[in-house]
Structure 1
């Protein structure tokens, strides 16, 4: 077989999932042309597809070393991006600046790398270019909104995040399945983002209500009980609601709740009696389009001067509710303020900060 025939044969085997056969074909092609970068590039892709990440990256690097073709540079950058090797992405792009200049394929990957390296001005510039080049790509809005947020351009990040999101048109939305929630329960506490949710909620409370002591607390959507496990000792009574049996089992095992209710929100709030002095919902309410029931129940269940704290995905005014993806929603400050006025709650603070990556509103309201 000729060099070209071996390459073609290997590509066919790789498409069929026969990675050992593809590897053998590309190695045979390389033996015919030892300095040609193509077999080594294709070997890198095969190794990555079969889970051999180190071998894959080494092969892609060697292909570029032999001849830094732009397409092969892109293959290397793409692989490094998916391996979260952000410093290596920037190193490769900077070293081959003249070759990749103007190639829009590199913008989102290099921009994301610069963001992770905390080089926010450069990240914003490149992610903005990626968006201008492909203005219907939701991922570009998502990534640029994160870079704007981290770079301190808070209102701009909110506007960017919601720009392509469609308005919610009413009706019952799709709910995240219990099975999906159960599936993530085992590794939930090991996720840095989940710990951030809890820590950020407690910081919101301390900043919004300095000197106020938690007493009787109601938590909406306990997850594994991570937030409740971090509450101060002054919280003498803690009630939690959760619909995932696996999450609920972990919450129960922590022994930090006085009462745990298995049920779906907001329906599970109906039989509850107050008063509670504080209601917490950390990274929960984005699952719901219509938040009026939560405000109604907060107004009913809170003691006078009670506090209602929650977080949502952010949406710019004057819009009210948008769909981020099936079963997930973003809400505007105008909408939240309207609900507060209608239910007798008073705004204390609405901070723009990281939510699930892009910006969210971290909100504190007070009864009365």
Structure 2
């Protein structure tokens, strides 16, 4: 049936003597579209059905299905309106309360979701899906005891529920019971061997438990099922980095397999090259975007967890050279990330610009409300068109993703106005020029940094060692550098 035929049929509905039969048929038309994934068409039909059959005793079914289809389209506000309508039409019917609760969960309206899901369970104490939803809501609210109870009640309602068992494993993991969590995850895999999330979570448990080899094997097994999951590639790189400290040969063997198996993964290619000691001159754009986009939401918290002091160290060094800020400078936060430097740079700026390659990181920076403009761009390409524009440029944590610095530093210097100042951080290399570390980051020697800065026409005002952050509990020593342009 095409769209015109459906419209003609719906237009004739009020004239139909067998209204209940026609209602059932037309809801079936909408649900068929819904099941086929043709959500926009399904929504269109559901909307017409709820309008035409407004007084039908079962129209709540169409309202409820309309809400579910709108959820599938990501239109959560509209979905909540439809689901509240379904609930109001039959408040003692459990499914609308459950559906509404799940829509509210997607909006992160946790207390309201909890209320709706609790009501669904009050109406039907064996409502498996509502118990699952309640467990998720309680976990997000931090009520882990109630979350565990909800997961177990869901399993009592349906002992073969993979979702309930997996959620229970996550609650057990978060409450410090790794062995119990592993047992639940293994039970999931006994039932569904290709459950990628369960395999990945077992890898995380192995990694946290100090077994990077077993973790790496789990991550490789996960990637066989979801080969384009870059966050899994990233976690595998972390596990292999830890393994390289214990068993370098096994780490190299697994890294070689990883790189060969996933030639299209920028993270696999870059991190494996680092582990195999095959230096590249810089991290690729694709690597940086895939590394940082999924990381953007938790980046600030992750940096705090590793005692990342690089931003305040760089700002302190700039302050000593520049003195008190007067707010009159054109300032660039180069590789701005989520904007950790912005609060310290803003007082210097008549205009503060941020540039980063990762759209996700730029959106987090934008949320700070401190930048006058933000650009999603590869830094050196963007700077090529900004000759002499900036009085002050800060490049925090940019150099660790560049090996050969001659070209990038020259480009940075070219964008500085006469008398301008450049601040940057780098990880320390004892000797040589630069190297690609097993972490996938680059380190540079002091001699090399001075050389490239001077070759770019910059005069070093200060270059000193600091502990920038911690990696695996160990201090990462680097350089904080401020240089000026005559």
Q: TM-score, normalised by structure 1?
A: 0.52
Does the CA-based 8 Å contact 2:397-2:426 persist in structure 1?
Answer: no
CA distance in structure 2 between the partners assigned to 1:155 and 1:270 by the alignment = 48
Tell me the SS of whatever aligns to 1:78: helix
Confirm whether residue 82 of structure 1 aligns to residue 75 of structure 2.
no
Does the CA-based 8 Å contact 2:132-2:163 persist in structure 1?
Answer: no
Provide the residue aligned with 1:284 in structure 2.
Answer: none
Confirm whether residue 226 of structure 1 aligns to residue 339 of structure 2.
yes
Deviation at 1:24, TM superposition (A): 1.2
Distance 1:10 1:277, change over 3 A: closer
Decide which structure has the larger Cα Rg and report it: 2
Deviation at 1:117, TM superposition (A): 2.7
Deviation at 1:229, TM superposition (A): 3.3
Provide the residue aligned with 2:129 in structure 1.
Answer: 105
User: Deviations 1:207-255 (Å, cap 9, x if unpaired)?
Assistant: xx9x999649xxxx9344723335699xxxxxxx9766616359x9997
Distance 1:122 1:223, change over 3 A: farther
Provide the residue aligned with 2:266 in structure 1.
Answer: 175
Does the CA-based 8 Å contact 1:9-1:25 persist in structure 2?
Answer: no
Does the CA-based 8 Å contact 1:37-1:67 persist in structure 2?
Answer: no
Tell me the SS of whatever aligns to 2:341: helix
CA distance in structure 1 between the partners assigned to 2:47 and 2:204 by the alignment = 45
Provide the residue aligned with 2:377 in structure 1.
Answer: 246
Structure with the higher fraction of residues in helix conformation: 2
Alignment partner of 1:41 out of 64, 78, 82: 64
Distance 1:263 1:295, change over 3 A: closer
**Structure 1 stretch displaced more, 35-44 or 48-57:** 48-57
Provide the residue aligned with 2:87 in structure 1.
Answer: 64
Provide the residue aligned with 2:28 in structure 1.
Answer: 8
Provide the residue aligned with 1:285 in structure 2.
Answer: none
CA distance in structure 1 between the partners assigned to 2:117 and 2:466 by the alignment = 53
Deviation at 1:162, TM superposition (A): 0.6
The structure, 1 or 2, with the larger RCO (C-alpha pairs under 8 Å, 6+ apart) is 1
Deviation at 1:180, TM superposition (A): 9.4
Alignment partner of 1:265 out of 401, 422, 426: 401
CA distance in structure 2 between the partners assigned to 1:181 and 1:297 by the alignment = 19
Gaps of at least 5 residues in structure 1 are 234-240, 281-288, 312-335, 338-346, 348-363
Tell me the SS of whatever aligns to 1:115: helix
Does the CA-based 8 Å contact 2:27-2:62 persist in structure 1?
Answer: yes
Deviation at 1:12, TM superposition (A): 3.6
Gaps of at least 5 residues in structure 2 are 1-17, 183-200, 206-214, 221-235, 237-253, 268-283, 319-333, 347-354, 359-375, 410-422, 428-435, 450-462, 479-486
Deviation at 1:90, TM superposition (A): 0.6
CA distance in structure 2 between the partners assigned to 1:63 and 1:95 by the alignment = 14
Provide the residue aligned with 1:162 in structure 2.
Answer: 204
How many residues in Structure 1 have an aligned counterpart in Structure 2?
A: 285
Distance 1:60 1:246, change over 3 A: same
Confirm whether residue 92 of structure 1 aligns to residue 135 of structure 2.
no
CA distance in structure 2 between the partners assigned to 1:181 and 1:296 by the alignment = 17
User: Deviations 1:101-133 (Å, cap 9, x if unpaired)?
Assistant: 454433453233223333243235546877996
Confirm whether residue 291 of structure 1 aligns to residue 438 of structure 2.
yes
Does the CA-based 8 Å contact 1:29-1:39 persist in structure 2?
Answer: no
Does the CA-based 8 Å contact 1:112-1:123 persist in structure 2?
Answer: yes
CA distance in structure 1 between the partners assigned to 2:447 and 2:146 by the alignment = 49
Tell me the SS of whatever aligns to 2:469: strand
Tell me the SS of whatever aligns to 1:307: strand
CA distance in structure 2 between the partners assigned to 1:116 and 1:99 by the alignment = 23
CA distance in structure 1 between the partners assigned to 2:468 and 2:287 by the alignment = 28
RMSD of the alignment, in Å?
A: 5.8
Tell me the SS of whatever aligns to 1:34: coil
Confirm whether residue 114 of structure 1 aligns to residue 218 of structure 2.
no
Distance 1:113 1:263, change over 3 A: same
